[in-house]
Structure 1
Amino acid sequence: MFKKAIALLLLFVSCSLFSQQLTLKHYEGKETTFNTKVVIDSISFTGFNLKINVDDSLATLDNISNINKKLNAEGNFKFTLNDNIANISYSSGNVITVHKAMTLFEITTKPKQGFSAVIYEVTDDSFFNYDSINQAYNSKDQKIEKTIIHPKPFFSSDKIVFGILMLILGFVFYTESSKKSGWKTFYKYVPALLICYVLPAILSSFGIISDKYSETYMIASRFLLPAALILMTLSIDLKGVFNLGPKALIMFFTGTIGIIIGGPLAILLISFVYPEAVGGMGPDAVWRGLSTLAGSWIGGGANQAAMYEIYEYSPDKYGAMVLVDIVVANLWMAILLLGIGKSQKIDNWLKADNSAIEHLKVKVSAFADKIKRNPTLSELMIMLALAFGGVSLAHFGASNITDYLTSNFDAVKDKDGALSFLGSSFFWMITIATAFGITLSYTKAKNYEGAGASKIGSIFIYILVASIGMKMDLGKVLENPGLIAIGLVWMTFHAALLILVAKLIRAPFFFLAVGSQANVGGAASAPIVASAFHPSLTSVGVLLAVFGYVVGTYGAILCTILMEMASKV
């Protein structure tokens, strides 16, 4: 048995009035003591009263510490701890204005063994401006998400987790290149990329590693992914990509339509065999929760958040929808990766004309062979400088663009709005990184492809794949059978429509797979699937995924309207 330890992960307490947000965030400390930051955002105040309860069956309230220096300098901060209840008050003669997240103080708790539920409850949270309560807000108006207590994995240190992921990648590539007949037969049918995804999922399922305690995915998706996009579009033949024809867009929109109609059809079908799974009233109505899946599976995280705000699904039940999203989307991605190993047979069955794709692959490969050389240390350093310099530029641009748009355009700032995706820094990061790589392809920098630019990019992509695999807990597949069933039926309709249209227009499996992932997986996984066919095709996945952000909210709203109608049949 692996050692079991419990860690507090995250508690969000957000309020709808005055766009204020009070947040409690955990960061890992000692095994027996946990510190939780209490953070406030978007508010002006001269004082506040907070009352925070800690369930004494779960943990012991130990202390209030690390009080914000500005608060101490400009006013009086007081607190009392009685029976696991923290009463905190503050008053100042000056108005304190907070534009971005500011930590007020930290709560120290000592968890008890064996708990797995809510640990904090905010019962009083009044913020005052001078002597009036014109900016006070009521707990009843808040959306309080339960604190999730996750079992600590056997390895929780990122230093160790990253090493394990690299060992997995090394093992996969070593066995894939093996000349032994057993491995050759295995990888003939199972793509190496799929194994790089599945092995971390298995370790996560057995509690050896966990994405809940690791920042590996965050680092891979925010640093390595944009770097990979730059390196893999460095030598892009943009004209060749456009010459692929309209089938890429047709399959993308087919995938979108499959999600839009698949949701209500899944509700209708499941309602005949398991009506409880599609019921619920008011905020607990299942169709409201499924709206967040529609947002995620057509666009991405920003669209999913928009649907959550628009349809106000119960926060207590939202975690189950996130589980369905992770399980079903990742299972579908695994199937697509498995299909890549048999893409030629699938194309033959579809009677697909993939000549344009093959021409692009040959053209890019010929260019790479023409300039191929053993890279020098200088060339390697320059390639990394271009990649991570571009990443820096992408993050800088994304931060400033999102700040400007959210500050000046209500349509972007409004999380309920269809244009809320423009306030996503991830969207702009991917867009800028891709544009930077395409720009370099018109310069002499494209010759670095001969020194292995796309190969370095592929390394980054495989690390991202392994970190995504770590997010998949195979043991949770059957935790919510009703919702999982809806998700699986929904994805089946999506897949069936894609196959039907691909057969009718004779579209290659590449367009089917990438068109689907541009919807369901978004900008993080569409390039992975595209690059699995050939590095030169990575940009196709990126461009379609970015387009998914644009149509995501609109498509999800239409899907939700249909799901609401279906749930009442």
Structure 2
Amino acid sequence: MITDDRIILGLLAAVLAFVFVTRDRPSWSRFYTFVPIILVAYLLPSLMVTFGLIDVTDSNLWPVAKDYFLPAALFLMTLSIDLKGVIGLGPKALIMFFAATIGIVIGGPIALYIVAQFDPSIVGEGSGAAWRGLATLAGSWIGGGANQTAMLEIYQFDISQYSALIAVDIIVANIWMAFLLYGAGASTRMDRWLRADSSAIDALRDKMANYTSSVKRVASGNDYVLLFGTTFAAVGLCHLLAGPLGAFFAGVNGDDSVLASQFFWVVLFATTFGLAASFTRARALEGVGASKFGTVFIFLLVAVIGTKMDVTQIAETPGYMAIGVIWMLIHTILLLAVAWLIRAPFFFVAVGSKANVGGAASAPVVASAFHPALAPVGVLLAVLGYAVGTYGAILCAEMMRAVSGG
């Protein structure tokens, strides 16, 4: 079992190289017709963990991916964005986002009630009551890590049982992400089933592709140094500003506040700096491959996220896992029903869901699976998820308390 991060990163890079090489081979064309390339890049690392090739228990790759790759990708992918085009996508994005939120809020108590009918012991009592622990799951699935921590502090769940909820969070959310990535590769068929008009999304994608072609040029070494220098200077500035702001709000609102999360501010600043740069001459850096390098960072992020899922852990927490699966099914059914009613494209289903369940680390990944130009839509909705996460999780927790008879 490999535990050295340097070797693990090399293996992940080799996986990505394998995926991109085979994508262009005629013998693999049928396979990639049905299985999106980004899904393969996500699942292969997870299989490496599941079958014991690598062990990421003490790995620092996720902090590196989150602190370096993600803000760099957000900056590069928003650098050439057409903000007017994003706004022009209309209100369906917000409708699907809040449908996803409602699905999580009502899904928790329904799932707990269903499983309790078969296993009454799952309800628990005192600090070990299931509803207290599931409140942390609601915080994570509506907002993110900061909201999850806030729920743990508010409801004082037995910390010795907390690892079971972490396993449910990671496994269920990542399996759902795999389905969404597959759906991104079959979005045309999904849109046909949803009777959706994706013309606005297609127009934005085509407009971005045309802009990239119009400014494309042969890059020099100076161009690449300028591109990477600008990108990582922006990443450094994000962390420089995020630290004091997080500390300030931690002092004002407590460590469990979303605004106390440095990650929240890093995401916000990376997106803001990229959008601001898109109104300047820096936008021309798209001509030397800004969004392409952003895609590289996104795929590195996808591969690292894949290492966080070990499907063998499902058997270790069957009761909580059953609740998590039913919960996610309710979330999914509501999302698809609303999308069918308002004829929303599958893009809004996927991004609205991951803006809740995955947050800023996953929403742009899923959005970019449709097209790199659409990544900012995922980021903007994920930031909204942070804002409503605590309130939605508290409402969900109180409903689960009522179901439990507490």
The answer to whether the superposition gives a TM-score over 0.5 is: yes
Q: Show the counterpart of 1:401.
A: 245
Q: Partner letter of residue 371 of structure 1?
A: V
Q: Does 1:237 align with 2:78?
A: no
Q: Show the counterpart of 1:161.
A: 8
SS at match of 2:315: coil
Give the superposition deviation at 1:195.
Answer: 0.9
Q: Does 1:555 align with 2:392?
A: yes
Could you tell me how far apart the structure 2 residues matched to 1:562 and 1:216 are? 37
Q: Show the counterpart of 2:311.
A: 474
- Which digits, 9 at most, give the CA deviation of each residue in 1:366-423, with x for residues without a partner? 111111122211111111011100000000000011122223x2xx2152xxxx0000
Could you tell me how far apart the structure 2 residues matched to 1:210 and 1:344 are? 38
Could you tell me how far apart the structure 2 residues matched to 1:530 and 1:360 are? 13
- Which digits, 9 at most, give the CA deviation of each residue in 1:27-64, with x for residues without a partner? xxxxxxxxxxxxxxxxxxxxxxxxxxxxxxxxxxxxxx
Q: Does 1:370 align with 2:214?
A: yes
Q: Show the counterpart of 1:172.
A: 19
Q: Does 1:196 align with 2:41?
A: yes
- Which digits, 9 at most, give the CA deviation of each residue in 1:317-342, with x for residues without a partner? 01100010011000100110111111
Q: Partner letter of residue 240 of structure 2?
A: F
Higher relative contact order (CA 8 A, sep 6+): 2
Question: Does structure 1 retain, via aligned residues, the 8 Å contact 2:168–2:321?
Answer: yes
Structure 2: which 5+ runs fail to align? Answer: none
Question: Does structure 2 retain, via aligned residues, the 8 Å contact 1:210–1:471?
Answer: no
State percent identity of aligned pairs: 52
Q: Partner letter of residue 241 of structure 2?
A: G
How many aligned residue pairs are there? 406
Q: How does 1:30-49 map to 2 (within 5 A)?
A: none
Q: How does 1:497-536 map to 2 (within 5 A)?
A: 497-536=334-373
SS at match of 2:326: helix
Q: Does 1:264 align with 2:109?
A: yes
SS at match of 2:250: helix
Q: What TM-score comes out, normalization by structure 2 length?
A: 0.99
Q: Does 1:352 align with 2:196?
A: yes
Q: How does 1:87-486 map to 2 (within 5 A)?
A: 154-180=1-27, 183-277=28-122, 279-407=123-251, 409=252, 412-413=253-254, 415=256, 420-486=257-323
Could you tell me how far apart the structure 1 residues matched to 2:237 and 2:165 are? 35
| Higher alpha-carbon Rg | 1
Which aligned runs of 4 or more in structure 1 are off by greater than 3 angstroms? Answer: none
Question: Does structure 2 retain, via aligned residues, the 8 Å contact 1:259–1:298?
Answer: yes
Could you tell me how far apart the structure 2 residues matched to 1:397 and 1:211 are? 30
Q: Partner letter of residue 210 of structure 2?
A: A
Could you tell me how far apart the structure 2 residues matched to 1:379 and 1:513 are? 35
Q: Show the counterpart of 1:568.
A: 405
Question: Does structure 2 retain, via aligned residues, the 8 Å contact 1:211–1:217?
Answer: no
Could you tell me how far apart the structure 1 residues matched to 2:55 and 2:217 are? 40
Q: How does 1:12-31 map to 2 (within 5 A)?
A: none
Could you tell me how far apart the structure 1 residues matched to 2:264 and 2:50 are? 30
Structure 1: which 5+ runs fail to align? Answer: 1-153
Structure with greater helix share of residues: 2
Structure with greater strand share of residues: 1
Q: Show the counterpart of 1:81.
A: none
Q: Show the counterpart of 1:94.
A: none
Could you tell me how far apart the structure 1 residues matched to 2:189 and 2:248 are? 49
SS at match of 2:308: coil
Q: What TM-score comes out, normalization by structure 1 length?
A: 0.71
Could you tell me how far apart the structure 2 residues matched to 1:510 and 1:554 are? 26
Report the aligned-residue RMSD. 1.0
Q: How does 1:534-549 map to 2 (within 5 A)?
A: 534-549=371-386
Q: Partner letter of residue 556 of structure 1?
A: A
SS at match of 2:26: coil
